[in-house]
A = this chain, B = another copy of it.
Amino acid sequence: MSDHHTYKKLELVGSSKTSIEDAIHNAIAQCGKSVKNMDWFEVVETRGHIVDGAVGHFQVTLKIGFRLEKS
């Protein structure tokens, strides 16, 4: 059995009308539809657009790391 793993990182932008945490949740949920073995995330940038003088959406760029399966 191998004694090491390799991971891949994807960069996604999650958005939410309510909170930074919710934007993170949304990005991870969407990513999980096509990726298995998600292991950690790193927030890269937090921004958002403004609509009618208030936050429209929080937009959180994050990297998601997941373990690659050995073929």
Contacts and interface: CB of A to CB of B under 8 A. Distances in A.
A4 B11 contact: no
B47 A45 contact: no
**Interface size for chain A: under 10, 10 to 19, 20 to 34, or 35 or more residues?**
35 or more
User: Which 10 residue pairs are nearest across A and B when measured between Cβ atoms?
Assistant: A7-B13, A6-B30, A43-B46, A32-B53, A9-B11, A42-B47, A38-B50, A4-B15, A40-B49, A8-B12
A38 B33 CA distance: 20
Interface of A: 3-21, 23-33, 38-43, 45-50, 53-55, 57-58, 61, 63-65, 68, 70-71
Contact of A47 (B5, B11, B29, B43): B43
Given A43-B47, A45-B42, A48-B40, A29 B53 contact: yes
